[in-house]
A and B are shown apart, each in its own frame.
Chain A
């Protein structure tokens, strides 16, 4: 198999389409000579797909802008060794885990009163935006990359895009809106406004803040005690009774800290509700009215 783009002159049967490709590529780069411009115009007359192709590929070229510069990065033997070591270690670790489940359970039991605090520590690190769990030691002969827990951590990193788990390292959340420096009465842009939720079932605790923005209203929730794995939604109710979806989250066995946004200005918000998947209210917060 040959690369049809590498030797166009050696393929007379394809020379016409190659010339079409050449002219289009040149046009996309503003690289046409005057004679080629005339040639392209003539081609357009007999081949109306040329304009479509230029428009379509021109769209691709336009989308290259955000890439900036390109850095070539050939993978080297050191990285290959890291990868192979990590895979080999992963296999042996799984075998060890199967062979010694009691030891693993004992280790977990020693750590804390919670089921698996190490995961929370990792989640807390993720909450701080730290990519540390992925940061291996390139010089290490065997890469210590969480051989047993990386699957869960990886999922947790994704979850962190919307929600932040507060675990043993809760102090890392110092930059949440609760600590913003803007102050003012409810409705002040960027200011954090605490709201009290009521109606939670026994064992469930919901606490929250609102933050007024020019583009809507942010809800910051701290939730404990909701059943793990079940879906819940947050709805913001405005002064006409209309409901605005703010977001959704899954219950988990750790305290969660969740930020969501609704496309309604704070001045129109009258209530925030947390609901179960079946629409049943879990907790409701009535919020004070503010002047526009």
Chain B
């Protein structure tokens, strides 16, 4: 059975809620009419973004899938506390997943490393703050596909706008404008994260 993942350009901070019918009609998954959490619809709407966050945060597809599963389990258990007035379903799910990923990330950091005597135990501190990286990865994952693609192509992969235009068929002007708004959305996400911390 195939699943068509629909994520119609939901953007960071968009007031659009997602009452997308999704594929729930063809499944028998639990639903709660009182809170509106439809696991199937929520997965169809946000599953890829949530998985993208976990995969790129942890660099482990299997572990990332476990995180997504755990995220939906926690959301399901906490569905009574979900208040759409305090933010969209996407924001709520990402908040849950952030904690799941952080738990796993920290647990993995505790993994003992077997090293030769001469290399133990005065280890240098990591060059980059891993929590900073998690925040950036989450921000990228929460962008719309179009926004993320151009940021990744230009600022991570290092393509010029013209090169990415040749590949994607999208005019350079459009890509530039798109990247501008993507970076703004990313900035909003990062600012919000710092305000929370």
Chain A contact residues, CB within 8 Å of chain B: 1, 3-9, 18, 21-26, 28-29, 31, 56-57, 59-61, 63-77, 79-84, 86-88, 90-91, 126-131, 134-136, 138, 143, 145, 150-151, 154, 157-158, 160-161, 164, 174-175, 177, 180-182, 189-190, 213-214
Contacts and interface: CB of A to CB of B under 8 A. Distances in A.
Given A79-B65, A190-B120, A126 B5 contact: no
A156 to B, nearest CB: 9
A70 B145 CA distance: 12
Contacts of A160: 106-107, 110
A80 B3 contact: yes
A8 B50 CA distance: 29
A60 B186 contact: yes
B134 to A, nearest CB: 10
Contacts of A143: 69
B120 A86 contact: no
B103 interface: yes
B117 interface: yes
Interface residues of B, number: 88
11 contacts: A18-B177, A23-B176, A29-B160, A61-B155, A67-B133, A84-B27, A86-B72, A129-B112, A154-B70, A158-B99, A161-B106
Contact of B180 (A57, A126, A189): A57
B176 to A, nearest CB: 4
Contacts of A64: 136, 140, 151, 155-156
A73 B109 contact: no
Interface in B174-197: 174, 176-181, 183-184, 186-187, 190
Nearest to A75: B47
Contacts of B29: 84, 87-88
A189 to B, nearest CB: 6
B67 to A, nearest CB: 7
Given A131-B107, A154-B70, A22 B176 contact: yes
Contact of A175 (B3, B69, B112): B112
Given A71-B59, A79-B65, A129-B111, 14 more contacts: A3-B9, A3-B11, A22-B177, A26-B176, A28-B155, A63-B136, A64-B155, A68-B156, A71-B56, A73-B55, A87-B30, A130-B107, A134-B104, A190-B122
**A9, A25, A61, A77: residue with the most chain B Cβ atoms closer than 10 Å:** A25
B114 to A, nearest CB: 8
A83 B72 contact: yes
B87 to A, nearest CB: 19
Enumerate the 9 nearest inter-chain pairs by beta-carbon distance, A residue then B residue, closest first. Answer: A129-B111, A175-B112, A75-B47, A21-B180, A25-B176, A84-B29, A129-B110, A134-B66, A73-B55
Contact of B190 (A60, A90, A91, A151): A60
A127 B107 CA distance: 7
Contact of A69 (B52, B146, B147, B156): B156
Main secondary structure of the interface of B (DSSP, over half): helix
A59 B128 CA distance: 16
A154 B156 CA distance: 33
B113 interface: yes
B108 interface: yes
A70 B114 CA distance: 30
Contacts of B40: 80, 84
B3 A90 contact: no
Given A22-B176, A64-B155, A83 B43 contact: yes
A213 B125 CA distance: 12
A77 B2 contact: yes
A73 B74 contact: no
Contacts of A67: 56, 133, 136-137, 140, 156
A172 B191 CA distance: 40
B82 interface: no
Contacts of B68: 75, 79, 83
**B62, B65, B187: residue with the most chain A Cβ atoms closer than 10 Å:** B65
A75 B48 contact: yes
B67 A9 contact: no
A157 B63 contact: no
Contacts of A69: 156-157
